Amino acid sequence: MGGRIGIFVVTFNAARHLCSTLERIPSDVYERVDEIYVFDDCSQDDTVLTGLGFKSERGLEKLRIYANTRNLRYGGNQKRGYLYAMDRGFDVVVLLHGDGQYAPEVIWQFVEPLLHGEADLVMGTRIRGALKGGMPLYKFVGNRILTWLQNRMAGMTLSEFHSGYRAYRTDALRKVRFLVNTDEWHFDTQIILQFHNAGLRIRETPIPTYYGNEICHVNGLPYAWNCLRTTLGYRLHRMGLVYDNKYRLKTDSPSYEYRPYLHSSHAVIREYFRRKPPAKVLELGCADGRLAAELIEAGHSVVGIEGDPRAAAQAADRGVAVLCADPETANLSELSQEFDTVVAADVLEHLRNPAQVLARAARLLHAEGEVILAVPNIANLFVRLALLAGRFPYGRRGILDRTHVQFFTLRSILELVRESGWKVREVTATPLPLPLVFPRLSATVLGRTLHALSAFLSRRFRRLLGYQFVIIADKVAYREERGQLLELRAGDVPARAGV
């Protein structure tokens, strides 16, 4: 059973308890660990001198005492300690409080599952013997209520959220963005939620509870409020209503989200093609080919252009003819056939020069060809309210997807389409994606009714409530030469400033 182990002791004004806490670490544990390091957070008592004296008196080579040059607070001190563990090459780091509230005698219960690869985070739970161990009744009741609410909001089943006795695998710590967490006491809640969001394994182990004469530095009501606020924010992030950078995984990569549900942009496009006679379709940015596959099933022939090789391969598996290339730089001369329709759903907002792409696409169409676009509405009510509150909340999907490089209002997208040589025929506004955000509710009669009402209001007040705009435009720009009407390619239309 290998692995380097560090015991990280956090202290603040713990001079009375530090020596007894360190002394209670079992001798066999001391032999097995690589280092015990104390990070004192600018104590106003003799915590540092006490620790140094204990080290000298006992001749403890593995014990190191560090004093922060400024007060980092509880969360900030943990960040520093975990970075230290990574820099030192520890595989496991145990968080122990220097005030003696948590029993050092059971440290190995935390370490073993981590060394065996059975967990990524092990938390101590005090609930079974909390009252017998002296936990005040008001703290016990508060812990129970808070934990129940947090479990409900986060979709977890922890026996308690608020134990500070923990041990982590450092390779798991590297997978979450703990450095952006708060420096306050609810850091502990945030890192639990980060581990849960990342699919990392959390295990609980029972620990004895001891409440003595140590001083509690936690202000209970603000702490409880911050824990609830953090957990609610995590729930909203998981639902896609807000985006919180804390929960963005370091391994995250953009993924395309197909929306087959009623009133979505994909549903609008799909329904339009069901009414059309068989057509030759070019889809820019076909992703994994799910929309293209539905169009093929409806009797149309589809060629897709997709820059992601993995998505292009998935589209090919669905029977789509795919040119694996970036739609913005693809060599379109490889496409020898002439198309009836170009589809660009959720594409223009990812391009640096969408006008040029639309102009190039026009050259691939016959004289009566059309383009179908779907773009998000940056002027949606929820974005306006966020801006009013001084926020621009990028997300992993939706209007403020962090991969977007262009933002459109209805006016700006219509100007772009017209200046690229197209005549707008139809605009449809789609509602907020309630089936994605509330999948269980949307399966009920109430949910379907709310979604239908949202769709009606979005079309009635499209500039304010529209989530996306689906635009159908015709290629109808012409010029006259020698008495004949000749097709004017979209690329021949001079772009005006601002396009």
- pLDDT tens for residues 366-418? 888 999 999 999 999 999 998 998 988 777 778 888 889 999 999 999 999 99
- 493 pLDDT tier (thresholds 50, 70, 90): very low
**pTM given for the model:** 0.69
Are 5-247 and 265-492 in the same CATH fold? no
**Angstrom distance (rounded) from CA 114 to CA 167:** 8
Q: 173 or 389: whose pLDDT is higher?
A: 173
What residue type is 54 in one-letter code? F
**Mean of pLDDT values over 413-431:** 92
Strand positions, DSSP E, 298-414:
301-306, 321-324, 339-345, 365-376
* pLDDT at residue 207 is higher than 50: yes
* pLDDT at residue 144 is higher than 70: yes
Tell the burial category of 184 from Cβ atoms under 10 Å away from its Cβ (0-12, 13-18, 19+).
Answer: middle
**Angstrom distance (rounded) from CA 11 to CA 240:** 38
* pLDDT at residue 216 is higher than 60: no
**Mean of pLDDT values over 38-49:** 94
* pLDDT at residue 70 is higher than 90: yes
List Cβ neighbours of 475 (8 Å cut-off, separation of 6 or more): 362, 365, 367, 368, 369, 370, 371, 421, 422, 423, 490
- 495 pLDDT tier (thresholds 50, 70, 90): very low
- Enter the CATH code of domain 5-247: 3.90.550.10
- What pLDDT score was predicted for residue 261? 87
List Cβ neighbours of 106 (8 Å cut-off, separation of 6 or more): 124, 205, 207, 208
**Angstrom distance (rounded) from CA 201 to CA 286:** 36
Domain spans, the chain:
5-247, 265-492
- 212 pLDDT tier (thresholds 50, 70, 90): low
Q: Any idea which fold 265-492 has?
A: Rossmann fold (3.40.50)
* pLDDT at residue 473 is higher than 70: yes
| Out of 7-16, 203-212, 397-406, least confident range | 203-212
**Mean of pLDDT values over 250-258:** 61
**Angstrom distance (rounded) from CA 248 to CA 345:** 25
- What pLDDT score was predicted for residue 490? 46
3-class DSSP assignment, residue 366: strand
Strand positions, DSSP E, 293-338:
301-306, 321-324
* pLDDT at residue 218 is higher than 80: no
pLDDT tens figures, 302-354? 999 999 999 999 999 999 999 999 988 888 777 878 899 999 999 999 999 99
- What pLDDT score was predicted for residue 134? 65
CA-wise closest residue to 214 among 77, 97, 123, 128: 97
- What pLDDT score was predicted for residue 392? 85
Alpha helices (H) in 88-136, listed in sequence order: 107-115
